[in-house]
Each structure stands twice: as C-alpha cells, then as structure tokens.
C-alpha cells in the first residue's frame, strides 16, 4: 500500500511493504503538483502496490490563491448576489472594523464575478410545489451570455431545489444544449440540504473542483500507469475517509480539504495502539500548524467546514484548526520593535535563508539551526545541506537593536508560544482539560518545537509517533473507505412520520448500495441532525437505529436526541418537540490498515549517542557561555523501554526531536517517543 499527502511545502509519500514502512519526501512543485507525487511514487516503487491513497491541498490552494477556472452561476431571479452576501457573519476581530470586507465578496476576490452570476425566472415553494414554472426562453438567453463569456463550467442553485429538483435538472439540460459538454453541478445532487447559501457555495466549489481535479487526476492516473501501477487509486475526503478516484470526481468538493484531516485519523489509530484515547494533535509543517482533537478514540467531525471565513462547504470534515506557524514561518520586527514570527511563510521557494535558494528573511528553521538543534548536514534525510552563515546573515539584517543572541532566542520563544497558544485555544474551545490529553507531535517541525510547548499547553505528555515527518500520509493507510448520503427534510418527529423517514433512509442506502460490489463487506451507520422545534441551529450526528423505522424507532430517535443534546449542552428540554433537519447514511467498508512493527527490548548492548550537539541561546543570554551540551541519538538505534533525560536530540531522516532540559524520554513498544516532565 502507498499513500501520499501533498502539502504546501513538501509532498510526503509512504509505502507499507512486507510489514516495513518506507518513506520519501519531495518538494511540492506548484506549477505541476502531480510531478512531486509521481517522483515520490517512483522513488518508493509503486508497481506492485494494491492501493494508492491520495490526499492533497491542491484544490484548497487554488481557492485561497484564486487560481480558479471561469465558471457561471445560475440562481433563482433575485438571488444572484447570495455568493456575495454569504451569511453576513463577521469574525470576532472585525466586529468593530468599518472597513472589513469578506475575502470572497465582490469588493475583494469573488469566486464568481457578478457578470457571470445570472438570475433565472422560476420559483419552487418550501413544500416542493411549483409556484412559477421555469422560463426556458429567458434561461437560454442567460446561458447565451455565459457562452459568449466563455465559461468553462456552470454551478446551479435554485431556491428550495433540495425539495424539488425538477427545475435544476431541466436547467442542466439547457446548459448542455447551449454550452455543450461543460462540467455542470446542480445543488440538488451536490448538496441536497437546507440553507441556501451553504448549498450555493458548496455547488460553486464543486464545479470549480471538477475543472481543477479532472486534468490533475488524468495526469496522475497516466503517470502511475507509466510507473507500472495497476491497483486502485483512492482519494481522501475532508474526514480522511477514502473514496475511489472515479467516485471522488463525481463530487470533488468533498476532497478539497483532505490533507490536514489525515493526520487526525493517523493519531486516532496510533492512539488506540498505545492506549491513549484522548489526544491533542498538532501537525507542524513548513507553512502551518494544523490542530485537532481526538476524544475517546474518535476524531471530532463537523457537518460543514470553512475554506475562508464564511466560505462554507457542506461536507463531513474532521475539525481541524490551522494557524500560520511552521518551520518556514518568517521572523520579522513589528512596529513596536518586537520580534514577530509568522503568519507569513517562506514556503518551499525560496524557502528559509539557510536553504541557499535565494531566501533572505530568517525563519523558524533558521532559528533552530542557529541554536544547534538542527544538523546542517543531515537535514531532510541528507538531501539538503543548511547554510549557517546565510541564517546568521538573515538574523543580522533584521532592523532592531537586539543582540544576535536575543534575536534568535526571542524568535524561538515566539515560535513555540504561537503553537502552544493555538493548541491551548483549541482545547478550551472544545471544553476539554488538556491535562487529561497527550499532545501528539508530528509534521517535520512538530517534534522539534512541541516538547518545548508542553508546559504552556499543560498537557499530560508529548508523544512523537514513528515517521512523524510523514505521519499524515500514514493516516491514509489508517483510514476507512466510506460512502455518505444525506437529505434535508424538516420533519417534526412523531409516530405518523415513520413511513416517510423509513423511505428516506431506504432510498439513501439503496443509492449507496448501487455503487458497491455485491460481495463488499459493508456496515451502514445512520444518524440525523435535529433541533428543538423553534431553534435555528442543529445538534448533529444523533444516532438512528437500523432496520425499519416505525413508531418505536421514532421514540428511540427522540430519546437519542435528548441524550445527545444533554451531553453536549448540559440541558434537557424533553417538553419541546424534536424536529429532524438532515438525515444521513454512512457506509463503512472493511479496509486494511497500517500495522506498526514492535521494537525489541534492549539487551546487554549499550545505547551510545552518535555525536554531541552544542545548544546555544537557551540559557542566560548575559552569561559569557550560555550553551548546553546535548547528546544526539539516531532514532533507529533506540529500543523499546529506553529511558533518557534531556537535554537531548533524537535525529531521524525527515525530522528532529528536541527533548528539553528538565524533560524525560521513554521509548514505547512501537518506537514512539514519550516525553514527560522529570
């Protein structure tokens, strides 16, 4: 099995072969993202692999940078500006800012410019009745405008189409008639859910992703075939569950945020192996730090996610918070003369100053090189030598009166603080006590920075899993293959609606079953999002019993809602009727998962360091010699049960772990590094 995680700086590739994990790390090429994937696959040998699991930020980066194809948007007449209005929500830090504008509004960088958004005369009521028939002549005239504007695809979202899809389906036929065979997404297929704006934004993202990923997937399939790959290509969705590539291309909006979610799944799977069900997960890469929570062995899953503030996509997604803190975060001097780190990043091109690729600004990587944490000759598995002189020059060029020692020390402390603050804020936002949680440090820069953040986060311990630099890619070998279907239908739960809800679940399960091989071992999971009658927000993922939905099943659904509501809010209101909003079916297929080899326990042989590193700028900056001597160990030499006291460094091909003074390291049975306070 092979898995690949395409990141903003590096593309990580892992292969599981004969019980051994093999890894490769390749710089991401923005001009041709598939090239790095294929180079990594060629390096590890993809010819005999049964599956190739793929996660990528390719689509996400296209949205963020607005490198999007030209598409048209058709809405019910009078609603063409819904994409500009959004939900009219502001972020907390912009509530009192009169100049604030949403990033995707018409005054900023819209996903679809206003002249490409056309109103169509038609109207369907909330109960599915046709109030005004579709005006086909007027629709053809509007489509003729889009044809002259040479749009590459079309997104359609009409009022109440999730109840009655007839107008959207007919409008799609007219698109074919006027524009030819261009990608066309209709909201009643893409996201047949209530709430018009989120349905519209999801449909627009889907239409754009069809155009972006179609050529990319074709290039990937051809390149893999040229390398001798004959297995199954799977794409990970936003919850890091796997979907065959041809199915993923039917609704590619589901895969736009797949990369960061994979690390959460990898953490949950590895946590189950080492008996740690409660985890704070921090993936510190070159550009960002992606933070998530696993409680009781399960990742927190949301029914929607945001690509940018208020730019919502209706897809099940692992709850991941990203902050601009990573190895490539730029060090700068603020207006008040303070040292700042991030959120800007040097990326892979030109990269940190020490890369010698033209970068002149110092970064967190330059900081750790100056401190002696990083080995200049052993970075990225020896593929890249770091230039200490260039890093020094970058720090000396900062416009400040701080000494060089102060610049480096403060940059290090700010880098650690930014990550610690992000992790702690996520813990508080989810209402958990970090003292009960282990902090999983992965990503190339995670083990280098997170042990120093342990006291600020107040976590129980820090766990560095095997192959931390490619741990998210390993998550794709820990994921299930799933299919999901959902429908919105506002329904007060009572015995008389049981046949209607039973028909809804039967239809969704049949729809999924048609996609599967008859011999496939599959488990169906039902749930619904509901609220107390009169509420405007839903409680998601309320369990639904299997089998026929009858009056007894409805009673169970109501009781389950009140139990779930009380668990999440601390209150019960059983005297209120319960209204179901969105009903959901999830099919989980039996999928092989990565198995981590166990390390042997050390015998009579003595563990010896490979060298000694001199750590600078960590002690008293006013002292003549503030350095620390830290032994450096090769991770492959560590055995289960080894115990060491910091300060020390554990070196491996694609990551460096810094165990600080006052900390204790224990090696676990699978080679995990468990760091605790002495």
Assess if residue 267 is contained within a domain: no
Look at residue 260 and tell me whether its pLDDT is greater than 80.
Answer: no
Q: Return the pLDDT at 567.
A: 87
Assess if residue 406 is contained within a domain: yes
Other CB atoms within a 10 A radius of the CB of residue 92 amount to: 6
Instruction: Work out the angle between the directed axes of helices 498-513 and 551-569 (0-180°, nearest 10).
Output: 80
Q: Name, in order, each residue with C-beta under 8 angstroms of 677's C-beta and a sequence gap of 6 or more.
A: 454, 455, 662, 663, 664
Which tokens sit at 153? Answer: 């695809």
Task: State whether 94 and 131 are in the same domain.
Answer: yes
Task: State whether 140 and 183 are in the same domain.
Answer: yes
Task: State whether 106 and 204 are in the same domain.
Answer: yes
Task: State whether 524 and 618 are in the same domain.
Answer: no
Q: Return the pLDDT at 185.
A: 97
Strands (E), 206-304: 232-236, 242-244, 279-284, 289-295, 298-299, 301-302
Report pTM.
0.85
Short-list 661, 615, 626, 618, CA closest to 409: 618
Task: State whether 67 and 207 are in the same domain.
Answer: yes
Assess if residue 393 is contained within a domain: yes
Our count of domains for the chain comes to 4
Q: Name, in order, each residue with C-beta under 8 angstroms of 215's C-beta and a sequence gap of 6 or more.
A: none
**CA atoms of 647 and 626, how far apart (whole Å):** 14
Assess if residue 574 is contained within a domain: yes
Look at residue 9 and tell me whether its pLDDT is greater than 70.
Answer: no
Dmax of the chain from CA atoms? Answer: 86
CATH number of the domain at 556, please. Answer: 3.30.1490
Assess if residue 35 is contained within a domain: no
**Last residue of some domain: 375, 399, 414?**
414
Task: State whether 560 and 638 are in the same domain.
Answer: no
- Average pLDDT in the chain: 91
Q: Return the pLDDT at 668.
A: 96
- By mean pLDDT, which of 89-93, 382-386, 452-456 is the weakest? 382-386
Please compute the mean of the pLDDT values over residues 158-179 and round it to a whole number: 96
Task: State whether 382 and 521 are in the same domain.
Answer: no
Which tokens sit at 369? Answer: 């090189």
**Last residue of some domain: 215, 244, 265?**
215
CATH number of the domain at 114, please. Answer: 3.40.50
Q: What would the pLDDT profile of 28-75 be if each residue is shown by its tens digit?
A: 777 778 888 898 888 888 888 888 999 887 788 788 888 899 999 999
Q: What would the pLDDT profile of 315-350 be if each residue is shown by its tens digit?
A: 888 898 888 888 989 999 999 999 999 888 887 778
| pLDDT confidence bin for 20, thresholds 50/70/90 | confident
pLDDT above 70 coverage of the chain, percent: 98
Residue 583 contacts residue 507 (beta carbons within 8 Å): no
| pLDDT confidence bin for 654, thresholds 50/70/90 | confident
Task: State whether 627 and 583 are in the same domain.
Answer: no
Residue 16 contacts residue 475 (beta carbons within 8 Å): no
383 lies in which domain range?
329-414
Give the CA distances from residue 126 to residues 198, 490, 503, 597, in Å, rounded to whole numbers and listed in that order. Answer: 17, 10, 20, 56
Assess if residue 228 is contained within a domain: no
Q: What would the pLDDT profile of 381-427 be if each residue is shown by its tens digit?
A: 667 789 999 999 999 999 999 999 999 999 999 999 999 999 999 99
Assess if residue 169 is contained within a domain: yes
Task: State whether 335 and 397 are in the same domain.
Answer: yes
Residue 461 contacts residue 550 (beta carbons within 8 Å): no
State in Å, rounded, how far the first CA of the chain is from the last one.
40
Assess if residue 532 is contained within a domain: yes
Task: State whether 374 and 502 are in the same domain.
Answer: no
Task: State whether 362 and 497 are in the same domain.
Answer: no
Q: Return the pLDDT at 138.
A: 97
Task: State whether 521 and 405 are in the same domain.
Answer: no
Q: What would the pLDDT profile of 565-610 be if each residue is shown by its tens digit?
A: 998 888 999 999 999 999 999 998 877 788 888 999 988 888 999 9
């Amino acid at each position: 099995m092979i898995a690949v995680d395409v990141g903003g700086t590096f593309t990580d590739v892992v292969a599981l072969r004969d019980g051994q994990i093999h890894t490769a790390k390749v710089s991401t090429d923005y001009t041709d993202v598939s090239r790095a994937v294929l180079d990594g696959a060629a390096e590890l040998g993809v010819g005999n692999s049964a599956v190739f699991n793929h996660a990528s930020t390719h689509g996400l980066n296209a949205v963020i940078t607005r490198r999007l194809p030209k598409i048209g948007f058709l809405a019910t007449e009078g609603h063409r500006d819904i994409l500009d209005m959004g939900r009219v929500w502001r972020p907390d830090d912009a509530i009192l800012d009169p100049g604030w504008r949403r990033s995707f509004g018409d005054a900023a960088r819209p996903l679809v410019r206003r002249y490409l958004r056309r109103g169509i005369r038609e109207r369907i009521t909330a109960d599915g009745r046709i109030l005004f028939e579709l005006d086909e002549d007027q629709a053809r005239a509007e489509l003729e405008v889009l044809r002259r504007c040479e749009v590459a695809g079309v997104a359609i979202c009409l009022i109440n189409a999730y109840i009655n899809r007839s107008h959207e389906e007919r409008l799609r036929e007219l698109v074919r008639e006027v524009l030819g065979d261009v990608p066309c997404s209709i909201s009643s297929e893409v996201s047949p859910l209530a709430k018009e704006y989120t349905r519209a934004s999801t449909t627009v993202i889907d239409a754009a992703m069809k155009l972006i990923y179609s050529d990319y997937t074709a290039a990937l399939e051809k390149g893999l075939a040229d390398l001798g790959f004959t297995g199954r290509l799977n794409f990970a969705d936003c919850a890091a569950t796997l979907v065959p590539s041809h199915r993923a291309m039917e609704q590619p909006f589901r895969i736009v945020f797949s990369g960061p979610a994979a690390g959460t799944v990898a953490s949950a799977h590895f946590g189950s192996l080492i008996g740690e069900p409660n985890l704070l997960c921090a993936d510190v890469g070159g550009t960002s730090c992606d933070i998530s929570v696993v409680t009781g062995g399960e990742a927190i899953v949301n029914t929607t996610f945001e690509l940018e503030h208020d730019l919502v996509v209706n897809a099940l997604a692992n709850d991941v918070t990203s902050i601009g803190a990573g190895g490539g975060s730029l060090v700068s001097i603020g207006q008040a003369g303070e040292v700042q780190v991030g959120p800007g990043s040097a990326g892979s091109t030109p990269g940190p100053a020490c890369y010698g690729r033209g970068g002149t600004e110092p970064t967190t990587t330059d900081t750790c090189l100056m401190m002696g944490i990083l080995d200049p000759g052993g970075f990225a598995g020896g593929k890249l030598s770091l230039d200490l002189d260039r890093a020094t020059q970058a720090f000396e060029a900062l416009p400040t009166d701080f000494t060089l020692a102060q610049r480096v020390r403060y940059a290090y402390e700010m880098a650690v603080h930014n990550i610690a603050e992000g992790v702690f804020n996520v813990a508080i936002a989810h209402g958990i006590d970090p003292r009960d949680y282990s902090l999983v440090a992965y990503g190339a820069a995670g083990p280098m920075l997170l042990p120093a953040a342990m006291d600020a986060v107040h976590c129980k311990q820090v766990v560095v899993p095997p192959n931390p630099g490619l741990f998210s890619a390993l998550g794709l070998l820990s994921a299930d293959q799933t299919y999901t279907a959902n429908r919105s239908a506002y329904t007060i739960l009572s015995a008389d609606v049981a046949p209607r809800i039973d028909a809804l679940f039967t239809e969704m399960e049949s729809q999924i079953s048609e996609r599967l091989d008859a011999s496939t071992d599959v488990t169906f999971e039902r749930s619904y999002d509901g609220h107390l009658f009169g509420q405007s927000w839903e409680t998601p993922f309320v369990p639904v019993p299997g089998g026929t939905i009858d009056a007894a099943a409805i009673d169970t659904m109501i009781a389950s809602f009140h139990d779930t509501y009380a668990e999440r809010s601390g209150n019960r209101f059983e005297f209120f009727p319960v209204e179901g909003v969105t009903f959901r079916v999830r099919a989980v297929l039996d999928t092989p998962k990565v198995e981590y080899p166990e390390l042997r326990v050390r015998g009579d042989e003595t563990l010896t360091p490979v060298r000694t590193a001199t750590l600078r700028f960590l002690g008293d900056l006013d002292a003549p010699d503030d350095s620390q001597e830290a032994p450096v160990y090769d991770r492959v030499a560590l055995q289960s049960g080894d115990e060491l006291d910091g300060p020390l460094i554990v070196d491996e091909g694609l990551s460096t772990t810094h165990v600080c003074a006052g900390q204790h390291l224990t090696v676990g049975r699978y080679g995990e590094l468990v760091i605790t306070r002495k």
